[in-house]
Amino acid sequence: MHIREKIKAAGLKATPQRRAIYEIMQDACHCSIDEIIARIKEEQPDVTVSTVYRILDSFCETGLLTKFVNAEGKTIFDITPHEHHHIQTADNEFIDIDDKQLSTLIKRRIINKLPEGEEIDNIQIQVTTKVKPT
Ligand SMILES: [Zn+2]
């Protein structure tokens, strides 16, 4: 599906700014707001920071993007909309781990520890790595 159709299928108007931000996300896969702003300013210098925030919020609300907090506490936007896990490398890159068995294992191990009347909403494991000492 092309960018325009994906945005429309989410119930949003495919404005030039929305298309540009979605294209940046398709290219980068995982991106902080600072990186997104820096990249869109190269193409569209007039776009405001608040517009970028609004677009990213609408993308997350409609399921086009997800977001998570990295090891440094920074919000990272993610092009993969379904539940998955991450390895955050020493270079600050993210590797997607799409492993339903891992999620199922975690669910089984913690199901009895949940507060009464609550259920698991989302499981996201984040493994950080560092360069091995030589
Ligand atoms: Zn991801």
**Ligand 1 ion: nearby residues, β-carbon < 5 Å:** 78, 80, 96
State in Å: Cα 77 to ligand 1 middle: 8
Residues 14, 50, single domain; the answer is yes
**Across 23-52, average pLDDT:** 95
Residues 59, 120, single domain; the answer is no
**Residue that finishes a domain, picked among 45, 61, 78:** 78
The alpha carbon of 58 is separated from its chain's Cα centroid by a whole number of angstroms, namely 13
Residues 59, 23, single domain; the answer is yes
State in Å: Cα 116 to ligand 1 middle: 30
Inside any domain, residue 99? yes
| pLDDT 10s digits, 59-98 | 999 999 999 999 999 999 999 999 999 999 999 999 999 9
pTM: 0.89
State in Å: Cα 52 to ligand 1 middle: 20
Residues 15, 30, single domain; the answer is yes
Residues 55, 94, single domain; the answer is no
Residues 45, 62, single domain; the answer is yes
Inside any domain, residue 46? yes
51: domain CATH number?
A: 1.10.10.10
> What are the residues whose beta carbons fall under 8 Å from the beta carbon of 58, sequence distance 6 or more?
12, 18
Q: What is the structure's pLDDT at 1? A: 77
